[in-house]
Structure 1
Amino acid sequence: MEPPTLIQSFKTTNKPIRSIAFNNKQTQLCIGSDETSVLCWNLTPPIRSLKFIGHTAAVTSTCFGQSVLVTGSADQTVRVWTPNVRGDSIFKKAHSKPIRSVDISRDQRHILTASDDKSIKLFDIDLNFKCNFNGHMNWVRCAKFSADQRLVASVADDNTLRMFDVRTQNQIMCIGQDQGLTTQLRKLQFSEDGTFVAVCGLQDVQLWDVRSSQLLQHYSCTSGQVNDVCFGGGDKYMIAGTDQGLKILDVKRGRSLYTIKGHEGPVTSVAYSPDGSVIASGGQDGRVLLFEVNDME
């Protein structure tokens, strides 16, 4: 078993990176940062970047659908872009405070937003409002669809992990510190099969069972904050971005494999390519690093 190999480094900005995302074909990597523009790097030759202008504050969250790019910003708007040279977009002022998170359903019919105004909202792809998911008592840091689009999971500064039924909008699960949930929650990610949800917070990553609401695994990662987490390799691995570096976690064996120190400062965002061959990390140093995934069986 060998650690991932650094294959590329982009200096994208002089400001911290907030979010990175691969498109489904793995030909583009989108970058949101404390800059107001959205960068989209073409990963196939000739490599060049596209800059999309529209937001007026930090771009806090990015995600790709099959044919569109969705971004959320501290300017309280969500935008849906066509990720080509023209970079056309539609937008909506979705919240009364900064947006922390955006996600798009797998069928590309719905968009999810989460905000400092304590709300989670559902829109259709044309940004027509559909419904709210209510319950959080403080800033909502992240909200995600499950792969089957039936559930929404969220974490917030009220130190809870909540689950909602998309069809009824009812809250069906709430996990807090009494059940062992970590504090200072930042991000979450569903496993591909929808049976687990990973959350990251102060010093650790946790894996929770969606059906039983039980804590399954706990990884102590760092002496500081864990800023982002994602699944990869068919849910066999998790990648965590921490204040101390990039962590590779083995879900099958329940252990930490590697710590990679490539950034100057905290790793603020991580992404796993759709085919599982590349890991991307974004840092407070404004750089994006690409790592080739070697045999990790």
Structure 2
Amino acid sequence: MEPYNLTGALEFLLLGLSEDPELQPVLFVLFLLIYLLTVLGNVLIILAISSDSHLHSPMYFFLYNLSLSDMGFSSTTIPKMLINMQTHNKSITYAACLTQVSFFTLFVCMDSLLLTVMAYDRWVAICRPLYYQVILNPGLCRRLVLMLFFISFMNSQIHYLVVSQLKFCTNMEIPHFFCDIPELLKLACSDTSINNLFRFLLSIIFGFLPVSGIFYSYYKIISSIIRVPSLLGKYKAFSTCGSHLSVVCLFYGTGLDAYLSSTISRSTRENMLASVMYTMIVPMINPFIYSLRNRAMKKALQKIFS
């Protein structure tokens, strides 16, 4: 069959997590709660950092932007899935699918780069405490976030262009709850070798390099903490990294599982469960990790509620 380029008039079908009609209301309520908790948790983090002058430091400035990115991350996939469940309509237009791909890669890349910069922030705070305010001054922090957004935007546009060049035949059913690039590559009836090469290279650049930066930062941090003479000093130094390290392990652990699910032969259900952990559970848990493990954040949240 001759492949052809899709136009805005044609649509994909997002098959979702389950086709069981009795399970749809349960899934709708569950994912609606997850989305509301995600938005509420991240909004509270943003309000706490904005309202408390004690939290106007580089670490919390990056956390503020991470919360914004996490809300965008969840809003890219969950609302469309909820709308499809409620209306019993599984379709998504070609233009909306490409937009979802673009925003999804934008926020994934932004999260990854922000976690890397936050690891650098912890390294400066522990290994260069006397120069912390000088090195990570407000102007540099703002420029860093703008640069990260620009890099993430360019990455998303590359993915957008790569996917927009795909050609499809008659099979428009995506066995997923959002337009995931690996699933689109499987549906394409044109040659996808160049697309897979681009995807591999971008995964190295925006996956392996940030992880390497985080590992190097924590290697220097641990080396510095080991030299601290007292156990209390070691505990205080490492406790400032606990929340960030937890989020890093959760983000990259679930992300690696989702990536491997798309590259090795695993069942569709296993692939979608890995994606649920990565796209829904992680953005929901992040605010709780930072608020429950951070005394200053607890005090700021208490002020908001009081």
| Bin of the TM-score, shorter chain as denominator length | under 0.3
If the length of structure 2 is used for normalisation, what is the TM-score? Answer: 0.25
The higher radius of gyration belongs to: 2
If the length of structure 1 is used for normalisation, what is the TM-score? Answer: 0.26
Higher helix proportion:
2
Which structure ranks higher in relative contact order (CA pairs < 8 Å, sequence separation ≥ 6)?
A: 2
Higher strand proportion:
1
